[in-house]
Amino acid sequence: MVYIRSCPRVGMDTIRRNPGIPYAITAVILCLMILSAGCTVPGKSPAPAVPASPGIVPDNGTAWQEIPLVDLQGKGNFSITSFAGKTVLIPVVSDSCPPCVILLSRQLNEIDRLPGVQDGTIAVVALDLDPPLGPGFIVTYHDQFNFTGYSARSSPDLTNRLFDTYGIFVVEADAVPVILVCPDGHALLLPAGVKSAEVLTTIIQQEC
């Protein structure tokens, strides 16, 4: 049988004779509380955070170039990969933003100034974000610029892929979006705003 010995009680007379006892008891209790709360295992670091699930892995950013397109001016069916080996400029246009029409027209005029567009080494595809019904941007505003390239309406799938690859500005007409596709197939979204023929030439030389 195990006997448990109780701790002796401290009487009031003892406390009166030794006024420092309450402070000593309090200090001991505080030390015990600190030690019990601060116990750690030496040398053990916190567990690393578990990374979030990556979900669906996006394509390499070029699959959208294979989506079939239909020219709105009757030039037949094609895709961006139809121009493999060429530099391709893709201005993204829409007549759903009236204030943007002048900016988009200026951009098309700047693109038309490129020597490569004149001699056929640079292909131009105006990608129209307008709804399926209606003539589209190029047909509606053709009298404001001299456009000789292709014009196609973007499908919801293509628009979503561009959004996933380049972000919101690729589908914002007021950002005057232009996508550059180099002869080797790699592509990038150019800076926002109207880009002069000189700026476009410099970017193409640097990127392609």
Looking at residues 86-107, what average pLDDT do you find? 92
At 164 the three-state DSSP class reads helix
Res 33: pLDDT: 47
Among candidates 4, 202, 170, 200, which has minimal Cα distance to 107? 200
Write down the pLDDT at residue 155. 92
Task: Please state, in angstroms and rounded to a whole number, the distance separating the CA atoms of residues 107 and 145.
Answer: 9
Task: With cut-offs at 50, 70 and 90, classify the pLDDT of residue 93.
Answer: very high
As a whole number, mean pLDDT of residues 157-181 equals: 93
Which tens digit of pLDDT belongs to each residue from 142-162?
A: 878 888 899 999 999 999 999
Smallest CA-to-CA distance from 127 within 135, 140, 136 is with 136
Phi-psi region of 76 (alpha: psi -120 to 50; beta: other; left: phi over 0): left
Lowest mean pLDDT among 82-91, 115-124, 127-136, 192-201: 127-136
Considering only CA atoms, which of 149, 153, 157 is closest in space to residue 129?
A: 153
- Picking from 33-42, 112-121, 189-198, which range would have the lowest pLDDT averaged per residue? 33-42
Q: Is residue 69 over pLDDT 70?
A: yes
| pLDDT at position 67 over 80 | yes
What pLDDT score does 61 carry? 65
Helix, strand or coil for residue 69?
Answer: strand
pLDDT at 59 over 70: no
Taking 80 as the threshold, does the pLDDT of residue 170 lie above it?
A: yes
Q: What is the chain's mean pLDDT, rounded?
A: 76
pLDDT above 70 (res 23): no
Q: What are the chain's domains? A: 64-207 (3.40.30.10)
pLDDT, mean of residues 61-90? 91
pTM over 0.85: no
